[in-house]
């Protein structure tokens, strides 16, 4: 049903029931949201911007370049292909920089925890040791603290490394992939260095050959995927615990009418974790009671929400497109934000309510926001200061509306380690059963659906794509705001197996797992790199990621980070499908991304606008990989022996009541 409110006809694309309900309330009648602005703009994106051929890299311009028209080059002579490639590469650099700055904070937080400063400890010692070995650190007969400090220091050094040796974690990739990177000269060296070199090479008058620009774009993106994002995921796991399957709830209905609602929005789990700890403090609970509230209800928004959802089961109120709606409920005392994906409009929406927007990171302030700096060395005190402010707002709450009936159960927490144990049996953790099920065709392949949601396509796009994939027996991995939207659609619980084709349903029911596995936030796409590599290592599915019947999509990408992710997937050998790319104004470069880049990397970008078209491409690519592997030939049906049955059922979620064995 389309929403009708205040003449907002542009909102007819909203299919999300909780959003519809909130926006149709009287209390929200003065709220202007992105849906209104999309309508006001009439969806007319800038022609040159969306085609990627507007250059403002020097002051002889800005130049609008028309491909193929002689006098419509840049003043410097730059062609449409060069300009589009430079712009695209800068998007990759910006996305990588965002993940990198986030990861640096996490590594510094890890080092503090290792040294015994602050509230956090080393929770996952086996994982610490495994990662330490990747960094060549001796683990035998050593104190956990010493290993952790050495790992933290070596991890931090990866950012500013100046020698030409590759980043340490690249050696986790398949030998074939490492050889490709070496041959092309794109194995990333220092993480920060690759972003800087990308910015340098796209400065006026430097790199003017799009293939060469894309080599550095790949190196920069790989520094993100196999460098900063992977460091963030792994060290956050070691510090806060590697996620194991747990039940939780998502959607606006997670807000509570009789409690202080505090939403935490942004990306860095250090802040969110500190808030979680402080919210359990008797002093804080007492203060909430004094204000007349029954308790303190923390809920997540965007990726920081995914982090605490995965590790603590803290509910998620909404993804990117719902951030304004969270406030428009009138039920939120404070929205605490740090960095990335926070729309400036939340401060404007908050003006209609008692809600305070509390900024906490010196990097990210906002007109209309209240700044309370989160000090990592004083994490709990900082968190208490933030909570105190929010709690005191409770009494000011006016009329509110929480769409109760729209909250949805989810099972989350599928780290690479969990998948290993869950599918591999309790005693012999491995990806063997997954590979076997792919080889025997019960699971046709694996699709990763990642990234943002935005206001360009209908908000049920993820759901439409995933249902089509499930019907075709493709197992789905999800992260980021895509995962949140799938959770709201009821696809992240075991009952969603009913949407699967017969053979995938059989596997999901045997294990008791959802057919869509929530693997975390956007930095956790690095888990997908590790999982894919592990599938290769298990054998039977080729000798590189590029051979796997697997594909990724970020259909509703919004953030530059999504493009960085897309590029590191491609540079790691995985195909990706996006809804659009800002390169269509440059014929050769566009073709290069969609086809030519395959020649060097073994994977390329795909573009399709319609959800079902995206799903169709994904299914076709997966089937083509199966053909190439020779696993689509008709085979005699193999009857399961007892060992195989045990593997399928033994370590499954049914056995462990959704709390899983320790993933380590
Ligand atoms: Ni990812 Fe997460 Fe969401 Fe997109 Fe933004 S929150 S890091 S960028 S919008 S998925
Ligand atoms: Fe124009 Fe070239 Fe300057 Fe870009 S670098 S603004 S194309 S003159």
Q: Hey, how many other C-beta atoms are within 10 angstroms of the C-beta on 654?
A: 15
- CB pairs under 8 A, 24+ apart, for 198-207? 198/89, 198/90, 198/92, 198/93, 198/96, 199/90, 199/93, 201/89, 202/57, 202/86, 202/87, 202/89, 202/90, 202/93, 203/57, 204/57, 204/58, 204/76, 205/58, 205/76, 207/86
Q: What is the pLDDT of residue 43?
A: 58
Number of H helices and E strands in the chain, helices first, is 28, 16
Examine the pLDDT at 648 and tell me if it is beyond 70.
no
> Is residue 336 within 8 Å of 390, Cβ to Cβ?
yes
Task: Read off the tokens for 75.
Answer: 């003043």
The rounded Å distance from CA 538 to ligand 1 centre is 31
SS3 label, residue 54: strand
- Pocket residue to mutate for ligand 1, from 34, 99, 340, 488, most atoms within 8 A of Cβ: 340
The rounded Å distance from CA 77 to ligand 2 centre is 8
Ligand 2 binding site (Cβ under 6 Å of any ligand atom): 55-58, 60-63, 74-76, 78, 83, 204
> Is residue 377 within 8 Å of 270, Cβ to Cβ?
no
Examine the pLDDT at 18 and tell me if it is beyond 90.
yes
Closest C-alpha residue for ligand 2 atom 7: 74
- Residue holding tokens 């774009």? 217
**Cα–Cα separations (whole angstroms), residue 42 to 10, 38, 54:** 9, 6, 21
Mean pLDDT of 599-604: 98
The angle formed by the CA atoms of residues 639, 645 and 651, to the nearest 5 degrees, is: 155
Report the nearest atom of ligand 2 relative to the CA of 83.
7
Examine the pLDDT at 560 and tell me if it is beyond 90.
yes
- Residue holding tokens 């086809």? 595
Q: What is the pLDDT of residue 3?
A: 43
Query: Counting every residue, how long is the chain?
Result: 664
The rounded Å distance from CA 594 to ligand 2 centre is 25
Q: What is the pLDDT of residues 511-536, one digit of tens each?
A: 999 999 999 999 999 999 999 999 99
DSSP letters, 586-628, are -HHHHHIIIIITHHHHS--EEE-SSHHHHHHHHHHHHHHHHHH
The angle formed by the CA atoms of residues 111, 114 and 118, to the nearest 5 degrees, is: 85
> Is residue 613 within 8 Å of 464, Cβ to Cβ?
no
The rounded Å distance from CA 202 to ligand 1 centre is 25
> Is residue 131 within 8 Å of 261, Cβ to Cβ?
no
The angle formed by the CA atoms of residues 398, 401 and 402, to the nearest 5 degrees, is: 130
Examine the pLDDT at 567 and tell me if it is beyond 80.
yes
* Closest ligand, as measured to the CA of 76: 2
Q: What is the pLDDT of residue 424?
A: 65
The angle formed by the CA atoms of residues 274, 275 and 276, to the nearest 5 degrees, is: 90
The rounded Å distance from CA 340 to ligand 1 centre is 8
Residue 656 CB-half CA count within 13 A: 24
DSSP letters, 109-174, are HHHHHHTT-SS-----HHHHHHHHHHTT---TT--HHHHHHHHHHHHHHHHH--SSSPPGGGGGS-
Strands in 338-460 per DSSP E: 356-359, 370-371, 408-412, 445-449
DSSP letters, 195-257, are HHHHHHHTSTTS---HHHHHHHHHHHHHHIIIIIHHHHHHHHHHHH-----EEEEESGGGS-T
- Pocket residue to mutate for ligand 2, from 48, 58, 80, 90, most atoms within 8 A of Cβ: 58
Q: Hey, how many other C-beta atoms are within 10 angstroms of the C-beta on 209?
A: 11
Scanning 425-524, the segments in alpha helix (DSSP H) are: 432-439, 461-471, 480-488, 502-511
**Cα 232 to Cα 152: distance, rounded to the nearest angstrom:** 11
Q: Is the CB of 346 under 6 A from ligand 1?
A: no
Sheet (strand 516-520) strand order: 516-520, 474-479, 445-449, 550-554, 575-578, 605-607
The rounded Å distance from CA 282 to ligand 1 centre is 33
- Pocket residue to mutate for ligand 1, from 250, 302, 326, most atoms within 8 A of Cβ: 302
Task: Read off the tokens for 146.
Answer: 């010493």
Mean pLDDT of 26-40: 91
**Cα 477 to Cα 417: distance, rounded to the nearest angstrom:** 14
Q: Which of 203, 195, 112, 199 is nearest to 159 (CA)?
A: 195
Mean pLDDT of 13-33: 91
- Band (421; pLDDT cuts 50, 70, 90): confident
Closest C-alpha residue for ligand 1 atom 5: 341
Q: Is the CB of 480 under 6 A from ligand 1?
A: yes
The answer for residues whose C-beta is within 8 angstroms of residue 454's C-beta and 6 or more apart is 320, 321, 556, 557, 558
Report the nearest atom of ligand 1 relative to the CA of 320.
9
Examine the pLDDT at 408 and tell me if it is beyond 70.
yes
SS3 label, residue 277: helix
The answer for residues whose C-beta is within 8 angstroms of residue 378's C-beta and 6 or more apart is none
- Band (49; pLDDT cuts 50, 70, 90): confident
The rounded Å distance from CA 54 to ligand 2 centre is 9
* Closest ligand, as measured to the CA of 229: 1
Percent of the chain with pLDDT over 70: 92
Q: What is the pLDDT of residue 2?
A: 41
Q: Which of 62, 66, 63 is nearest to 51 (CA)?
A: 66
Is pLDDT larger for residue 184 or for residue 377? 184
Examine the pLDDT at 650 and tell me if it is beyond 50.
no
Mean pLDDT taken over the chain: 92
Q: What is the pLDDT of residue 9?
A: 43
**Cα 586 to Cα 80: distance, rounded to the nearest angstrom:** 5
- Pocket residue to mutate for ligand 2, from 59, 78, 85, most atoms within 8 A of Cβ: 78
Q: Hey, how many other C-beta atoms are within 10 angstroms of the C-beta on 70?
A: 6
Q: What is the pLDDT of residues 206-229, one digit of tens each?
A: 999 999 999 999 999 999 999 999
Scanning 366-471, the segments in alpha helix (DSSP H) are: 379-391, 416-424, 432-439, 461-471
Q: Is the CB of 561 under 6 A from ligand 1?
A: yes
Q: What is the pLDDT of residue 640?
A: 57
Q: What is the pLDDT of residue 663?
A: 31
Buried b vs exposed e over 32-54: b needs ≥16 C-beta within 10 Å? bbbbbebbeeeeeeeebebbbbb
- Pocket residue to mutate for ligand 1, from 308, 317, 320, most atoms within 8 A of Cβ: 320
Q: What is the pLDDT of residue 405?
A: 84
Examine the pLDDT at 659 and tell me if it is beyond 90.
no
Q: What is the pLDDT of residue 309?
A: 94
The rounded Å distance from CA 261 to ligand 1 centre is 22
The rounded Å distance from CA 56 to ligand 2 centre is 6
The rounded Å distance from CA 494 to ligand 1 centre is 25
- Band (657; pLDDT cuts 50, 70, 90): very low
Q: What is the pLDDT of residues 269-292, one digit of tens each?
A: 999 999 999 999 999 999 999 999
- Pocket residue to mutate for ligand 1, from 449, 561, 579, most atoms within 8 A of Cβ: 561
Entry pTM: 0.94
* Closest ligand, as measured to the CA of 566: 1
Instruction: Give 3-state DSSP helix, strand, coil % of the chain, rounded to 5.
Output: 50, 10, 35
**Cα 295 to Cα 76: distance, rounded to the nearest angstrom:** 63
**Cα–Cα separations (whole angstroms), residue 539 to 435, 447, 543, 545:** 8, 19, 8, 12
Ramachandran assignment for 339, one of left (phi > 0), alpha (psi -120 to 50 degrees), beta (any other): beta
The rounded Å distance from CA 551 to ligand 2 centre is 36
Q: Hey, how many other C-beta atoms are within 10 angstroms of the C-beta on 56?
A: 11
Q: Is the CB of 193 under 6 A from ligand 1?
A: no
The answer for residues whose C-beta is within 8 angstroms of residue 237's C-beta and 6 or more apart is 124, 127, 243, 415
Roughly how many angstroms between the first and final C-alpha of the chain, as a whole number? Answer: 45
Report the nearest atom of ligand 1 relative to the CA of 479.
10
Q: What is the pLDDT of residues 88-123, one digit of tens each?
A: 999 999 999 999 999 999 999 999 999 999 889 999
- Band (406; pLDDT cuts 50, 70, 90): confident
């Amino acid at each position: 049903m389309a929403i009708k409110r205040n003449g907002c006809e542009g909102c007819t694309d909203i299919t999300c029931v909780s959003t519809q309900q909130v926006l149709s309330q009287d209390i929200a009648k003065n709220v202007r949201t992105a849906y209104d602005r999309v309508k006001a703009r009439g969806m007319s994106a800038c022609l040159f911007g969306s085609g990627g051929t507007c250059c403002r890299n020097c002051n002889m311009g800005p130049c609008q370049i028309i491909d193929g028209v002689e006098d419509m080059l840049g003043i410097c002579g730059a062609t449409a292909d060069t300009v589009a490639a430079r712009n695209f590469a800068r998007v990759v650099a910006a996305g990588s920089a965002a993940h990198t700055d986030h990861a640096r904070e996490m590594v510094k937080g890890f080092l503090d925890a290792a040294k015994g400063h602050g509230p956090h400890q080393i929770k996952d010692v086996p994982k610490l040791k495994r990662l330490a070995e990747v960094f060549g650190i001796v683990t035998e007969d050593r104190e956990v603290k010493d290993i952790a400090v050495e790992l933290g220091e070596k991890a931090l050094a990866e950012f500013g490394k100046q020698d030409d040796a590759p980043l340490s974690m690249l050696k986790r990739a398949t030998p074939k992939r490492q050889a490709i990177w070496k041959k092309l000269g794109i194995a990333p060296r220092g993480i920060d260095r690759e972003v800087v070199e990308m910015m340098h090479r796209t400065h006026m008058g430097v790199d003017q050959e799009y293939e060469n620009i894309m080599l550095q774009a790949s190196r920069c993106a790989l520094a993100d995927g196999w460098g900063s994002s992977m460091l963030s995921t792994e060290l956050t796991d070691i510090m806060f615990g590697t996620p194991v399957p747990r039940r939780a709830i998502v959607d606006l209905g997670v807000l509570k009418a009789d409690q202080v609602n505090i939403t935490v929005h942004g990306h860095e789990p250090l802040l969110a974790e500190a808030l979680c700890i402080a919210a359990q403090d008797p002093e804080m609970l007492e203060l909430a009671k004094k204000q007349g509230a029954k308790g303190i209800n923390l809920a997540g928004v965007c990726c920081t929400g995914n982090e605490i959802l995965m590790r603590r089961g803290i509910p998620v109120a909404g993804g990117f497109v719902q951030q304004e709606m969270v406030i428009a409920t009138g039920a939120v005392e404070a929205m605490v934000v740090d960095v990335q994906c926070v729309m400036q409009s939340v401060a404007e929406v908050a003006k209609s309510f008692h809600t305070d927007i509390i900024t906490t990171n010196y990097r990210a302030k906002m007109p209309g926001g209240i700044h309370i700096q989160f000090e990592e060395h004083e994490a709990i005190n900082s968190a208490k200061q933030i909570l105190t402010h929010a709690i005191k707002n409770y009494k000011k709450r006016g009329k509110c509306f929480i769409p109760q009936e729209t909250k949805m159960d989810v099972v989350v927490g599928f780290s690479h380690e969990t998948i290993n144990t869950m599918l591999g049996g309790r005693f012999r953790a491995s990806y063997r059963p997954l590979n076997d099920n792919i080889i025997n065709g019960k699971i046709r392949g694996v699709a990763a659906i990642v990234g943002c949601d935005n206001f360009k396509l209908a908000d049920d796009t993820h759901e439409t794509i995933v249902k089509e994939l499930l019907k075709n027996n493709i197992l789905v991995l999800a992260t980021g705001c895509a995962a949140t939207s799938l959770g709201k659609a009821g696809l992240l619980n075991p009952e969603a197996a009913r949407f699967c084709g017969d053979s995938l349903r059989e596997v999901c029911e045997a294990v008791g797992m959802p057919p869509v596995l929530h693997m975390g936030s956007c930095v956790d796409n690095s888990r997908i790199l590790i999982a894919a590599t592990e599938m290769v290592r298990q054998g039977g599915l080729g000798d590189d990621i590029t051979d796997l019947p697997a594909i990724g999509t970020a259909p509703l990408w919004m953030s530059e980070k999504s493009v960085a992710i897309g590029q590191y997937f491609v540079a790691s050998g995985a195909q990706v499908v996006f809804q659009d790319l800002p390169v269509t104004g440059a014929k050769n470069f566009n073709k290069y991304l969609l086809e030519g880049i395959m020649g060097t990397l073994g994977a390329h970008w795909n573009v399709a606008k319609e959800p079902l078209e995206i799903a169709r491409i994904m299914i076709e690519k997966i089937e083509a990989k199966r053909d190439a592997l020779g696993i689509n030939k008709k085979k005699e049906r193999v009857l399961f022996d007892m060992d195989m049955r045990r593997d399928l059922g033994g370590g499954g979620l049914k056995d462990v009541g959704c709390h899983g064995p320790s993933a380590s």
